[in-house]
Structure 1
Amino acid sequence: METYLYEFIEAFTHLMLYIMNIYSSEYFEKKRKFNTLVWHCVNNQIEVYIQQALNPIKKFILDKSLYKYRLIFKNLKDQVLKIYTIEFEQFYKTHSTEISYSSIENFVWDFFTYAEMCLTEPNNIGNKKITHFSFSIHAFVEMTPILRYIF
């Protein structure tokens, strides 16, 4: 399950960078993740940057302390234009049945299809050009929620 969660976060990040036009669309191509075609940045420098930024998440996923992941998009004046948040609390609750890979595939297909269809409509941010983005990882440490890393 931990691998799936990390891959989902990575795929979500690439999709949002595509949707928000952070990088030229020529840097993106459709790649299959969870039996779903998702926009993925194929520029090597950007891929390495994303992998390095997301690497700390693995520890929090393994110890089940990751509870929130955010992508924050800002303009030149450092004003927040968009924030996308995924909360993971439900993943850590005990279930009487194991979550199957096919149910994960179905969820991912529904989620990414919905995100791409709804969010690729013209962004309601006017003429404000997004110039940078950041990741924030929220994790529980010693049962106290804190903001552990910001990239």
Structure 2
Amino acid sequence: MSTGGGAGVEQPRWLNAAEKEAWTGLVSLILLLPGRLEAPLHREAGLTLFEYLTLSHVSEAPGRRLRMSELAYLANGSLSRLSNVVKRFEQRGWVRRSPDPEDGRYTLVALTDAGFEKVVAAAPVHVRTVLDVLDPLTAADQQALARIAAKLRVRPTDLA
């Protein structure tokens, strides 16, 4: 591939065949999996994938409470997006927000009994869809996927 660059111009590094195949596979996963995971949740439980992950992570936390910043990381969303979702959840009676008693600079989100009932009702839909994705993979494939995801995941510095 000619880039038309002149002398002294640094040429870009292009992907080799193996890198291109890996990248194409990753992009396909990024673009196709969210819809595949979200459609059944939306249809059967009235939740987006982000909303389900938000409720699920709080339900699994000690005391069913998490700092908003930690929840944003776990649910893979910005604090702004999470704040909007949590506000809607508060209006539905699924969560409560309060200052963190250990450090008032942080806000805690706590799951109510109604929120726990919602996530418990939605969980089988999500798990069924996740298993549809994972079942074609061998145990070794699943372990490799977990290792790759861990290497590619970026943890915000304020949560490290």
Q: TM-score by structure 2 length?
A: 0.31
By relative contact order (CA 8 Å, sep 6+), the higher-ranking structure is: 1
Relative to its length, the structure with more helix (as a share) is 2
Greater strand share, structure number: 1
- Which entry has the higher C-alpha Rg, 1 or 2? 2
TM-score by length of 1: 0.32
